[in-house]
Chains A and B, each alone.
Chain A
């Protein structure tokens, strides 16, 4: 019999739901029965809550607020130690003192998306109507729903116009949705490694991930919370498959090649002989410690449904007609999940709307994940774009 080592169980005990779901280590905005969130599926979500982090201070004329939209498996902990993993914030290359988004200059907000599992209402939250975890009773949400909820939060914070909305990947989709839905409320938009619609290939990858989750016997048709367990194996496989799409052939080769993991010869088994296997297993098992399986289903579905042109009679340019927002679109040469061609289609539509747009393609072999990494050319461009927009907005270097 060959040796098989399955993916290890998470450090958090399976029968204990993450405390962060209902009582996040963040600021929380509660929206009661008087303020329901109307969802695209026709349901009103109420009551609901949004967990968010802020960095820096809002200036006197409320003109320096930047909203960061996080990606599929991100959360609101952009630039602080993560309360579950203990790791640094996920975008500290971009956000922080001396960085392009400097809290001494801007009031930076990041909210966990609706449907997420770090404190904003989602399938892992308690359904107040039943006293049980929502699970699959949670309504299907969309990117526009997420953005609608964020707009309610921005209202709550007393901000009329955001100086900038910034995000990559699913975060970039939200940026574009912000500009399509609330053009007058977005002074500038930095949309990175994203698209105005999810491609067939990307939907296919998401379906693979969802099927992996649903094939796990511990999933229990989404009702695992009632059983006190978590389908960590299925979710880990979903994460492993997705993680490959965030990298590139060249990056994987450079990082791992065909090198062996703690051994010189193959073991003639299905153990993780190769470093790349060990790395993927680690990515899978560490992910399940901080993420809810149902939340993964809902958020991937939201991305699948995203199609701005589809919401505007099939003509993308109509979504941006007459828009005054200043755009900066960034793509990466080795990103095959959201390739440059997708960004170029967006830029063409923005040109057709006579929008003010900058578009840069950054050469890197680091794949889709490049937007999260220390890629100096990308960071320089982000900084210059925001500085130039700040000048047009009348922002000075410091709070005033």
Chain B
């Protein structure tokens, strides 16, 4: 499977983009205004707030009580819950988009979670740190230890990230469960998209994280 086309990034107002994370801006830009969105693992609600500025009806699930309460105190519709256990409570087609931002690698059953995302939502947007990134490979190859980066500073023994994967792994999983990729982006260390159309192995090496817009494929 290959991504047919890498769509160009739309421009956001400069003043608006400054206060938001680059990967959040990219995700928000993938969502059509006026749609209904569930953000799974919404943290402090930064992405939901960004979505609200675009007229999107956003809801959130967050595991940590502190995160939930900060979101609710911002007036966001967020509930305390777990991606692994609580997605089953949502009906089919409840949302236009379900977003899983930097959370897939922390779930117990990434495959089941991914299937649930595309059951609840007509589309899913998934982003995750790419373990095939050259700096990761280098740390393992040269350093001989489990990789640690600025974005993933935890040691192997206390990290919540139990299911790391590479962009290549993820593409293969999508193939396996018949998920169609509408759009794929690889972001560099600073969260900026790799602009050029490049083969998968390049993205897998130079993308610090991957962001994918997914829909249900044939046979689902």
- Which of A141-149, A223-231, A292-300, A378-386 makes up part of the contact surface? A378-386
The answer to the question of A356 belonging to the interface, with a C-beta cut-off of 8 Å to chain B, is: yes
The answer to the question of B86 belonging to the interface, with a C-beta cut-off of 8 Å to chain A, is: yes
A372-394 near B? 1/0 per residue, CB < 8 Å: 00000100110011011001000
Tell me the count of chain A residues lying within 8 A, CB to CB, of chain B: 25
The answer to the question of A267 belonging to the interface, with a C-beta cut-off of 8 Å to chain B, is: no
Complex alpha-carbon distance, A381 and B72, angstroms: 6
From residue 99 to 138 of chain A, which have CB atoms closer than 8 A to chain B?
none
Complex alpha-carbon distance, A347 and B79, angstroms: 8
From residue 42 to 96 of chain B, which have CB atoms closer than 8 A to chain A?
57, 59, 65, 68-69, 71-81, 86, 89-91, 94
- Knowing A357-B77, A358-B77, A363-B65, say if A352 contacts B91 (CB, 8 Å): yes
A-B contact pairs, 9 of them (CB 8 A): A347-B79, A352-B90, A356-B77, A358-B71, A359-B68, A360-B80, A362-B69, A380-B73, A391-B75
CB distance from B104 to the nearest CB of A (A): 21
The answer to the question of A312 belonging to the interface, with a C-beta cut-off of 8 Å to chain B, is: no
Count chain B CB atoms within 10 A of each CB in A328, A359, A387 and give the residue with the most. Answer: A359
A358 and B94 form a contact (CB under 8 A): no
A358 and B79 form a contact (CB under 8 A): yes
A358 and B90 form a contact (CB under 8 A): no
B72 and A385 form a contact (CB under 8 A): yes
Task: Report B-chain residues with C-beta under 8 Å of the C-beta of A391.
Answer: 75
CB distance from A101 to the nearest CB of B (A): 16
List of 3 A-B pairs having minimum Cβ-Cβ separation, nearest first: A388-B75, A359-B79, A348-B89
The answer to the question of A396 belonging to the interface, with a C-beta cut-off of 8 Å to chain B, is: no
Q: How large is the interface on B (under 10, 10 to 19, 20 to 34, 35 or more residues)?
A: 20 to 34
Number of A-B contacts (CB under 8 A): 62
- Knowing A326-B77, A351-B79, say if A360 contacts B89 (CB, 8 Å): no
The answer to the question of A13 belonging to the interface, with a C-beta cut-off of 8 Å to chain B, is: no
- Knowing A328-B72, A360-B69, say if A351 contacts B77 (CB, 8 Å): no
B77 and A384 form a contact (CB under 8 A): no
Chain A residues with CB under 8 Å of chain B are 326, 328-329, 344, 347-348, 351-352, 354, 356-363, 377, 380-381, 384-385, 387-388, 391
Chain B residues with CB under 8 Å of chain A are 57, 59, 65, 68-69, 71-81, 86, 89-91, 94
CB distance from A316 to the nearest CB of B (A): 11
Task: Report A-chain residues with C-beta under 8 Å of the C-beta of B68.
Answer: 359-361
Count chain B CB atoms within 10 A of each CB in A351, A359, A384, A388 and give the residue with the most. Answer: A351
Task: Report A-chain residues with C-beta under 8 Å of the C-beta of B78.
Answer: 358-359
CB distance from B34 to the nearest CB of A (A): 15
Task: Report A-chain residues with C-beta under 8 Å of the C-beta of B79.
Answer: 329, 347, 351, 357-359
B74 and A384 form a contact (CB under 8 A): yes
Task: Report B-chain residues with C-beta under 8 Å of the C-beta of A351.
Answer: 79, 86, 89-90
A384 and B94 form a contact (CB under 8 A): no
Complex alpha-carbon distance, A89 and B65, angstroms: 31
Complex alpha-carbon distance, A347 and B77, angstroms: 11
Task: Report A-chain residues with C-beta under 8 Å of the C-beta of B81.
Answer: 347
Complex alpha-carbon distance, A380 and B70, angstroms: 10
Task: Report B-chain residues with C-beta under 8 Å of the C-beta of A359.
Answer: 68, 72, 78-80
A361 and B80 form a contact (CB under 8 A): yes
Complex alpha-carbon distance, A334 and B75, angstroms: 24
Complex alpha-carbon distance, A388 and B58, angstroms: 13
Task: Report A-chain residues with C-beta under 8 Å of the C-beta of B74.
Answer: 384
Q: A377's closest neighbor in chain B, by CB? A: B69
Known: A351-B79, A352-B89, A362-B69. 20 other contacts (CB 8 A): A326-B77, A347-B79, A348-B86, A351-B89, A351-B90, A352-B91, A354-B94, A356-B59, A357-B79, A358-B71, A358-B76, A358-B77, A358-B78, A359-B72, A360-B80, A361-B69, A363-B65, A381-B73, A385-B72, A385-B75
